[in-house]
Chain A
Amino acid sequence: MAKVTLKDLSHSYLKTQSSDADWAIRGVDIDWNDGGAYALLGPSGCGKTTLLNIISGLITPTKGDILFDDKVVSGLNPVERNIAQIFQFPVIYDTMTVYDNLAFPLRNRKIPEEEIKAKVYEIAEMLELSSTLNNRASGLTADGKQKISLGRGLVRSDVNAIMFDEPLTVIDPHLKWILRSKLKELHQKINRTMIYVTHDQTEALTFADQVVVMHEGQIVQTGTPVDLFEKPKHTFVGYFIGSPGMNVLPCQIKGNDVIVNGKKIETHQQIKKNNFSKTEVGVRPEFISFSNEGIPVKVLSVSNTGRHKIVDTESETGKIKMIAKSNEDIPSGSAFLKFKKEYTFTYGDSWIIE
């Protein structure tokens, strides 16, 4: 168990780098506390798997340091770092039994056979694999195999961290939910640092205490699921998390006033400076309501999800989505929208203006 720290970490798969786009990850600074459950969330290609492989030691970063409990481990290999990793699809040793699969990492470390036996039985019990211990591992279903991969990480009681690289990709939807709860339960039981990479916001938000959102190789925000929802620090977090995502509208800043579609609106922040090339206002559909005055829009369509209605409207400078109660009457034609002040933020060059 250990605290994992990344210091000014950058990595590029190219030999020479000329622009930001050449970096798979750039300038990542983060602390993962001992025993925490973290999710690394981002779209495909944002660098999250690269970051994970750097932590586990499968990739050596171009720049920066990795520290476990404040000791630099950048030059160490995965075995020396003593981490466990679970991959996108189950990795099992086909010719071995489930028991031998689970015992494999321990046998490689020359641990006495009785100790191995006790540990394997304990982990098999925890993962509900006890009844299949003597079966060939290749005969198991995908979720069974993924449990073996997970088990191989758990048998070593001294691992510094357990990393998951989209571990539920090949699992059936109804089993996904079960395995996810299992992971959460395991985390509470063994209390080890877990880092879970995913592009699925539901997975991230249900698994983790702290979610780290990545975008184009950078960490854009770290926070609890509530933080990410209520106060996105970057417009990307706004529309990547939430369904539908945050509305982002261009705005002008005149003095201390924020102007959208020619109307002054109230936002959460006090605007003190304006040196941005692009300014935007972001507000989630959940925090918009119809009103007698405000932003003039045309109602385009309404879709009822059962729990609520999603209303598509069009303003002068772009579409705005809003969520209304399922029993609410939706005006047709033109209407006015009002944004809730506490949940309306101004962004300069995509980052929130503090």
Chain B
Amino acid sequence: MNKTVNQKAWFFVIPVFVLVAFNAIIPLMTVVNYAFQETFGNNVFMWEGTRWFKQIMLSERFHASLGRQFLFTFIILFIQIPLGIAIALTMPKEGIGVPVCLVLMSMPLLIPWNVVGAMWNIFALPDIGFLGHSLNALGFDYNFTQQIGDAWFTTILMDVWHWTSLVVLLSYAGLRSIQPAYYQAAEIDGASRWAVFTKIELPKMKKVLTIAILLRFMDSFMIYTEPFVLTGGGPGNATAFLSIDLVKMALGQFDLGPAAAMSLIYFFIVLLVCWVFYTLMMRNEEKS
């Protein structure tokens, strides 16, 4: 087949290009601008080269918040993905239970981030919060504002409450798209429940699970509002994840250069992880 060559068609791309330029490229270039220069205000800039990048890459503070960030993301992925699949498997497949479950599952997803943070903050307060008070009444020494372990526990619990539904809904959609004949064939082949799960359900859910993992990775890696409202990054810096640390640096200390460099490094980490993950999943797909 011969393709028609028509370079004029590029003009149609202009509107999109202009829009993307305004909402992505120009703001990003501002950050790039700050990342390579030093400024004392009044629009006076001095060239600093890669100094801020070196400083961030060698900074222990950055290493610590990056470490916390990865730990947090892995923990919530490790809990939310299996839990989400498990809930999706137990959800009803027909009848009135379906809409009821779907609405209940969607509820946490519809609540604004800072409301979630505020809700959990009050919920977990050791003296008056239902969760905090109950735990203490049961004999646990629980105080998320002062104890590191409790702060992590509460933050993770909050994220699991807020976002497991997303995994549930995606998994449920994946499960519902499996033709009944697969289950019937498995029944006739004498497959165990476990074999049905590993040989039919998981492979058929692969695509939606890839999306679920990617979305949950990105969202949790960039999490800001909820832990900020809940713990403010504390106690100390115990729950200061990358975004929280970044905002502290940029707006709290007004270190615009290092903060800009950190933003770019942050951005590239997210990009890199997503790219590697997606490529691996897709390569697997091609093989089959």
Contacts and interface: CB of A to CB of B under 8 A. Distances in A.
Interface of A: 53, 56, 58, 77-79, 83-85, 87-89, 91, 93-96, 104-105, 108-109, 136, 138-139, 149, 152-153
Contacts of A77: 187
Interface string B209-228: 00000000000000000000
B207 to A, nearest CB: 12
Given A88-B181, A136-B288, A95 B203 contact: yes
Q: Sort A-B residue pairs by CB-CB distance and give the 7 closest, nearest first.
A: A108-B190, A91-B185, A105-B189, A87-B181, A79-B190, A78-B188, A138-B288
A77 B189 CA distance: 12
B200 interface: yes
A91 B181 CA distance: 7
A95 B199 contact: yes
Interface of B: 179, 181-182, 184-185, 187-192, 195, 199-200, 203-204, 287-288
A93 B288 contact: no
Nearest to B284: A95
- Main secondary structure, interface of A, reads mixed
A83 to B, nearest CB: 7
Contacts of B179: 89, 91
Given A108-B191, A138-B288, A93 B184 contact: no
B199 A93 contact: yes
A80 to B, nearest CB: 10
Nearest to A81: B188
A84 B188 CA distance: 6
B48 to A, nearest CB: 52
A89 B199 CA distance: 18
17 contacts: A53-B184, A56-B184, A56-B188, A58-B184, A58-B187, A78-B187, A79-B190, A85-B184, A87-B181, A87-B185, A91-B181, A91-B182, A93-B199, A93-B200, A93-B203, A96-B199, A109-B190
A87 to B, nearest CB: 4
Contacts of A89: 179, 181
Contacts of A84: 188
Contacts of A83: 188
Given A89-B179, A93-B200, A136-B287, A108 B192 contact: yes
Nearest to A93: B199
A85 B185 contact: yes
A84 B187 CA distance: 10
Contacts, number: 58
A79 B184 CA distance: 11
A108 B194 CA distance: 11
Contacts of A87: 181, 184-185
Contacts of B203: 93-95
B266 to A, nearest CB: 36
Contacts of B200: 93
Nearest to A83: B188
Given A85-B184, A91-B181, A104 B288 contact: no
Contacts of B199: 93, 95-96, 104
Contacts of B189: 104-105, 108, 152
Contacts of B185: 85, 87, 91, 149, 152
A78 B190 CA distance: 8
Contacts of B190: 79, 105, 108-109
B251 to A, nearest CB: 49
A120 to B, nearest CB: 14
A77 B184 CA distance: 11
B191 A104 contact: yes
Contacts of A136: 287-288
A138 to B, nearest CB: 5
A108 B199 CA distance: 12
B288 A85 contact: no
Nearest to B188: A78
B209 to A, nearest CB: 14
A149 B182 CA distance: 11
Given A58-B188, A87-B181, A95-B199, 13 more contacts: A56-B188, A58-B184, A78-B184, A83-B188, A91-B182, A93-B203, A94-B204, A95-B288, A96-B199, A105-B189, A108-B190, A109-B190, A138-B288
A136 B287 CA distance: 8
Given A91-B182, A95-B288, A136-B288, A85 B188 contact: yes
**Of B190, B191, B195, most A-chain CB atoms within 10 Å:** B190
Contacts of A105: 188-190
A194 to B, nearest CB: 15
A74 to B, nearest CB: 17
A56 B188 CA distance: 8
Contacts of B287: 136
Contact of A94 (B181, B184, B187, B288): B288
A87 B186 CA distance: 12
B18 to A, nearest CB: 43
A84 B288 CA distance: 27
Contacts of A109: 190
B175 to A, nearest CB: 15
Contacts of A153: 188
Contacts of A152: 185, 189
Nearest to A56: B188
Contacts of B191: 104, 108
A79 B199 CA distance: 18
A96 to B, nearest CB: 7
**Of B187, B189, B200, B288, most A-chain CB atoms within 10 Å:** B189
A149 B185 CA distance: 9
**Of B185, B199, B287, most A-chain CB atoms within 10 Å:** B185
A20 to B, nearest CB: 26
